[in-house]
Amino acid sequence: MKILLVFDFDNTIIDDNSDTWIVQCAPEKKLPLELKDSYKKGFWTEFMGRVFKYLGDEGVREDEMKRAMISMPFTPGMVELLNFIRKNKNKFDCIIISDSNSVFIDWVLEATNFHDVFDKVFTNPAAFDSNGHLTVEKHHTHSCTRCPQNLCKNVVLVEFVGEQLQQGVNYTRIVYIGDGGNDVCPVTFLKKNDIAMPRKGYALQKTLYRMCQNLEPMQSSVVSWSSGVEIISYLQFLIKE
Gap between the terminal Cα atoms of the chain = 13
As a whole number of angstroms, the distance between CA 145 and CA 140 comes to: 14
Residue 106 in marked binding region: no
Confirm whether 8 is a catalytic residue. Answer: yes
**Measured between alpha carbons, how far is 221 from 133 in angstroms, rounded to an integer?**
43
Q: Which of 10, 93, 183, 194 is catalytic?
A: 10
User: Three-state secondary structure along the chain?
Assistant: CCEEEEECCECCCECCCHHHHHHHHCHHHCCCHHHHCCCCCCCHHHHHHHHHHHHHHCCCCHHHHHHHHHCCCECCCHHHHHHHHHHCCCCEEEEEEEEEEHHHHHHHHHHCCCHHHCCEEEEECEEECCCCCEEECCCCCCCCCCCCCCCCHHHHHHHHHHHHHHCCCCCCEEEEEECCHHHHHHHHHCCCCCEEEEECCCHHHHHHHHHHHCCCCCCCEECCECCHHHHHHHHHHHHHC
183: annotated binding-site residue? no
Is 93 annotated as ligand-binding?
Answer: no
State the catalytic residue, choosing from 8, 93, 183, 194: 8
Q: Active site includes 106?
A: no
Residue 119 annotated as lining a ligand binding site? no
Annotated binding residue 19 = yes
CA 183 centroid distance within chain: 9
Q: Which residues are annotated as a binding site?
A: 8, 10, 19, 99, 179
* Residues assigned a catalytic role: 8, 10
Which residues are annotated binding-site positions for substrate?
19, 99
- List, as residue ranges, the binding site for Mg(2+): 8, 10, 179
